[in-house]
Amino acid sequence: MAEFDLTIRGGTIATAADVTRCDIGIRDGRIVALAEALPPGMRDIDATGRLVLPGGVDGHCHFAQPAGDGSRMADDFLTGTRSAAFGGNTTVIPFAAQAKGQSLRDAVAAYHAEADGRAHIDYAFHLIIADPTPDVLERELPELIAEGYTSFKIYMTYEGMKLNDRQILDVFTAARAHGAMVMVHAENSDCIAWLTERLEAEGKTAPFFHGVSRPQVVEREATHRVISLAELADLPILIVHVSGREATEQIRWAQGKGLRLYAETCPQYLFLSADDLAAPGFEGAKCVCSPPPRDKANQQYIWDGLANGAFQVFSSDHAPFRYEDPQGKKLGGESAPFRTVPNGVPGVETRLPLLFSGGVGEGRIELTRFVELTSTNPARMYGLYPRKGTIAVGSDADLAIWDTEREVTITNDLLHHDVDYTPYEGQVVRGWPITVISRGTVVCDDGALHVAPGQGQFLPCDRPDPARPSSRRAIPRDSGRFKAEAV
């Protein structure tokens, strides 16, 4: 009887810390041995000449998320996790979204019903809090956090989801009390509405003007404001999908002050630009997302932030709407005003190859940094580390074996999502994940899917260490004076 169910031999292994040559022994879905040479397992995979990475953890993607505006996401747990797996991921964290007036518990139950038995890889849930009533904050949220839903997203824009500053402070206070990580979508809603009305009055309604309705100042103001609210509440927060220089400068400023402030960026801010929103006809709608893609100089600024530590997490923000679909990008009809176009771009399958090729391949980031941004840090931020996000004895055997020389021209035909386009059509990348293993089971290998829906399991999350407050808070003491002090 072999000691291991599976041995991966001969590969070069990279974690967030090291790049080494070693074999991996796997038993009962977990890594049980790492050594220069291991005995054969029941099954062996020869990874000679390949790179073996921890499976990607996509900490921000949207599957089957109801919006209430008639739109419909093209990917559910079945197709979304399939696409994620082919893109080198072994964990995804989509969102159980609360509608206004809905109990959070009901939103979670409905999302479990959506996911049960359909996922190809493991998944956890973030919550979206759209209605922070006293019952939600004082009862439902603490209960859900204790059950493993330890991160949630709040919005500063979007009707039906946005919170005002007072509500944000209340949510932050609850998160602090119970040890959860808060992700923030930072854009100023009133500024967007004001600009949108003015643009529409001038007849400027093409997809290109979506970007004009959300200039960087809109993101910068909200970023600065929410950093200030987090400072007041003494809560580490994570600002998601940062698009360009101005918001990043606010993040650097906060980090320089010593605040525990984390930030995420996404492929669309490295590989798309306002030029893509200006594509002929209605085609720019394919790249409508919020915040919008900026220009080339901002792309460079985002690359710099990935290299020098301003960003801790690189996610897809996969938000899958079909282009030729009256419930997708054409929700408002052919050539409809940009305000009717559902926000988001697909990218769960292309996230890792794009960053690997443009980042590691082009010498912009180290391989260890790539692993940190795409797997280790998201696992840490959301309470899944070290079960996920690394290659270590005791961790789940979640691995992606990469052919670093494989040159791929990205086309939608190649991808496994259920969207009818990719915004990265024609982009050439070098390096592709060819074999993906989840808890010791080969999920996909050289283009073939080897597991049935249901292989993926729900992951309750721990309270994330990075969400721990600094205890350097500005609070009223004595006669209501505010001062920074330890509590």
User: Do 125 and 156 form a contact (C-beta atoms < 8 A)?
Assistant: no
List CB contacts of 299: < 8 A, sequence separation 6 or more: 269, 270, 271, 273
DSSP string, 88-117: TEEEE--EEEPPTT--HHHHHHHHHHHHTT
- Closer of 317 and 372 to Zn ion (Cβ): 317
The single residue among 62, 82, 118, 351 that binds ligand DUC, judged by CB under 6 A, is: 62
Shortest approach of ligand DUC to residue 345 CB, angstroms? 7
Applying CB under 6 A, among 343, 375, 377, 395 the residue interacting with ligand DUC is: 343
Strands 428-438 and 12-14: unpaired
Q: 220-241 burial string, b = 16+ CB within 10 Å, else e?
A: bbbbbbbbebbbbbbbbbbbbb
Specify the stretch interacting with Zn ion by CB under 5 A; choose among 22-30, 182-190, 222-230, 366-374. 182-190
**Minimum CB separation from ligand DUC for residue 289, in Å?**
3
Q: Does 131 bind Zn ion (CB under 5 A)?
A: no
Q: DSSP letter at 377?
A: H
DSSP class of residue 129 equals -
289 interacts with, out of ligand DUC, Zn ion, none, CB within 5 to 8 A per kind: ligand DUC
Residues contacting 374, CB < 8 A, separation 6+: 56, 57, 314, 351, 352, 355
Binding positions for ligand DUC, 142-201, rule CB under 6 A = 185
Smallest gap from Cβ 273 to Zn ion, in A, equals 19
Q: How many residues bind ligand DUC (CB under 6 A)?
A: 8
* Interacting residue with ligand DUC among 25, 320, 344, 378 (CB under 6 A): 344
Alpha-carbon Rg for the chain, nearest whole angstrom, is 22
Looking only at residues 222 through 241 of this chain, which bind Zn ion when binding is defined by CB under 5 A? none
Q: Which DSSP category does 169 fall into?
A: H
User: 234, 317, 349, 398: which one contacts Zn ion (CB under 5 A)?
Assistant: 317
DSSP one-letter string for 258-319: T--EEEEE-THHHH--HHHHT-TTTGGGGG--SSPP--HHHHHHHHHHHHHTS--EE---B-
Q: Which of 126, 185, 220, 388 binds Zn ion (CB under 5 A)?
A: 185
Tokens representing 404 are: 């670093």
Sort strands 6-9 and 43-46 into parallel, antiparallel or unpaired.
Answer: parallel
Q: How far is the CB of 187 from ligand DUC (least distance, A)?
A: 8
The amino acid occupying position 342 is: P
Task: In angstroms, give the least distance from the CB of 264 to Zn ion.
Answer: 10
We find the least distance from the C-beta atom of residue 155 to ligand DUC, in angstroms, to be: 7
Within 276-335, which residues bind ligand DUC (CB under 6 A)? 289-290, 317, 319
Q: Is 31 in the site for ligand DUC (CB under 6 A)?
A: no
Q: For the window 195-234, what string marks contact with ligand DUC as x by the rule CB under 6 A? A: ----------------------------------------
Applying CB under 5 A, which residues contact Zn ion?
A: 185, 317
Applying CB under 6 A, which residues contact ligand DUC?
A: 62, 185, 289-290, 317, 319, 343-344
